[in-house]
Amino acid sequence: MGKKIRHFINLPAIGADTLKGILKHAHALKAEKYNPPQLLEGLSLAMVFDKRSTRTRISFEVAMKQLGGHTVVMGMGEMQIAGSETIEDTSKVLSRFVDAVMLRMSSHENMEELARWATIPVINGMTDQSHPCQIMADLLTIEEKLGGVEGKKIAWFGDYNNVCTTFEQAAPLFGFDLVISTPPDLQPAKLGAHATYIEDAKAAAKDADVIVTDTWVSMGQEGKAIEKFMPYQVNPELMAQAKDGAIFMHCMPIHQNEEVTKDVLNTPASVIYDEAENRLHAQKAILAWCLADAGVRVKKKG
Ligand code: CP
Ligand code: NVA
């Protein structure tokens, strides 16, 4: 039996201890950002996208290169998988060319199928169900800004989407409390451990350590009506409910004056650019973990 391949697709499958170890490594790699250890020298990452991306694409590309590796970037529409080639063949062939693959793929099921055939690590660069790399960067940011995540109250506003559900998965793993405040028709039928639903946005924001939101219209949902989300807009009035020193987070891209008002973005509470930068540091630690036990040689520092 070969070693288990370290896919980074679903946070619960990876486990709390491993995820905490990856975050710890991310802090260390950030501290060494101007002298990055060449952990991934000679290794290659394929990056495949079926949707737009700025942060995910650039942070993975720069992370690989800073750690000594290489990248190949493709739009899924340019690949034979957009014709008649199967997921199985795509996965088996990618596995012969590169050492890991990161995909932004709408269908979570298709990503899991690709991982089943892969002999290299598969990294979830966002599906319609989850965005685990984003949440790792967000937790890194909360640890930096607030000194830790355990016991913190994170309040989510707006759409119940892929980023929110990944916070929900992370809550019991990292021991924070997640409050979800969305229009009532989006109230989750079943909530994860450490998560609660509060319809009233102001009540949900009360004494929160972190106020977080995301677009009301995720990619692929263009044309959706947004009026019902207005009571869940993050504005100064909502921020005033949170704890003193609370931070505002958003995975970006932002739709100003929809899910968040411009005046909130211009306050010191907003940590959105640190959060975006932390995608790079989190990505490095995720790559180092995925590749450390996948039949390729990840260099040890020094
Ligand atoms: N937050 C995030 O994933 O951004 P991109 O869509 O730009 O990659
Ligand atoms: N929920 C958003 C996140 C973008 C990074 C989307 O899926 O489009």
> Domain limits of the chain?
11-131+277-292, 134-273
Counting from 1 in the atom list of ligand 2, the atom nearest the Cα of 161 is 1
**Ligand 2 in reach of 218 Cβ (< 6 A):** yes
The residue from 25, 50, 129, 251 that is catalytic is 251
Residue bearing the CA closest to ligand 2, atom 7: 218
pLDDT for res 161: 98
Residue 151 CA to residue 176 CA, distance in Å, equals 5
pLDDT for res 136: 99
pLDDT for res 295: 46
214 flagged as catalytic: yes
134 flagged as catalytic: yes
Residue among 251, 254, 277, 278 to mutate when testing ligand 1 (max atoms within 8 A of CB): 251
Residue 203 CA to residue 82 CA, distance in Å, equals 46
Place of tokens 């795509």: 90
Counting from 1 in the atom list of ligand 1, the atom nearest the Cα of 56 is 8
- The pLDDT tens digits of the residues spanning 66-96 come to 999 999 999 999 999 999 999 999 999 999 9
104 flagged as catalytic: yes
**Ligand 2 in reach of 251 Cβ (< 6 A):** yes
For 126-162, letters b (16+ CB in 10 Å) and e give bbbbbbbbbbbbbbbbbbbbbeebeebbbbbbbbbbb
pLDDT for res 4: 87
Tokens encoding 230: 């207005």
Q: C-alpha angle 205/17/21, rounded to 5°? A: 90
pLDDT for res 253: 98
Question: Is 11-131+277-292's fold the same as 134-273's?
Answer: yes
Counting from 1 in the atom list of ligand 1, the atom nearest the Cα of 104 is 8
- In the reported structure, the alpha carbon of residue 51 is separated from the centroid of ligand 2 by a whole-number distance in angstroms of 10
Residue 197 CA to residue 206 CA, distance in Å, equals 13
Residue 293 has pLDDT above 70, yes or no: no
The overall average pLDDT reported for the chain is 96
- In the reported structure, the alpha carbon of residue 215 is separated from the centroid of ligand 2 by a whole-number distance in angstroms of 7
- In the reported structure, the alpha carbon of residue 160 is separated from the centroid of ligand 2 by a whole-number distance in angstroms of 11
Considering every ligand atom, which ligand is closest to the CA of 282? Answer: 1
- The pLDDT tens digits of the residues spanning 219-261 come to 999 999 999 999 999 999 999 999 999 999 999 999 999 999 9
Tokens encoding 232: 């869940």
57 flagged as catalytic: no
Query: What fold is seen in the domain 134-273?
Result: Rossmann fold (3.40.50)
- The pLDDT tens digits of the residues spanning 38-59 come to 999 999 999 999 999 999 999 9
- In the reported structure, the alpha carbon of residue 56 is separated from the centroid of ligand 1 by a whole-number distance in angstroms of 5
- CATH among 3.30.40.10, 3.40.50.1370, 3.30.930.10, 2.40.30.10 for 11-131+277-292: 3.40.50.1370
Counting from 1 in the atom list of ligand 1, the atom nearest the Cα of 126 is 3
Q: Which of 215, 140, 147, 204 is nearest to 177 (CA)?
A: 204
pLDDT for res 82: 97
Residue 50 CA to residue 73 CA, distance in Å, equals 11
- The pLDDT tens digits of the residues spanning 139-198 come to 999 999 999 999 999 999 999 999 999 999 999 999 999 999 999 999 999 999 999 999
Residue 3 has pLDDT above 50, yes or no: yes
- In the reported structure, the alpha carbon of residue 125 is separated from the centroid of ligand 1 by a whole-number distance in angstroms of 9
Q: DSSP class of residue 243? A: P
Considering every ligand atom, which ligand is closest to the CA of 251? Answer: 1
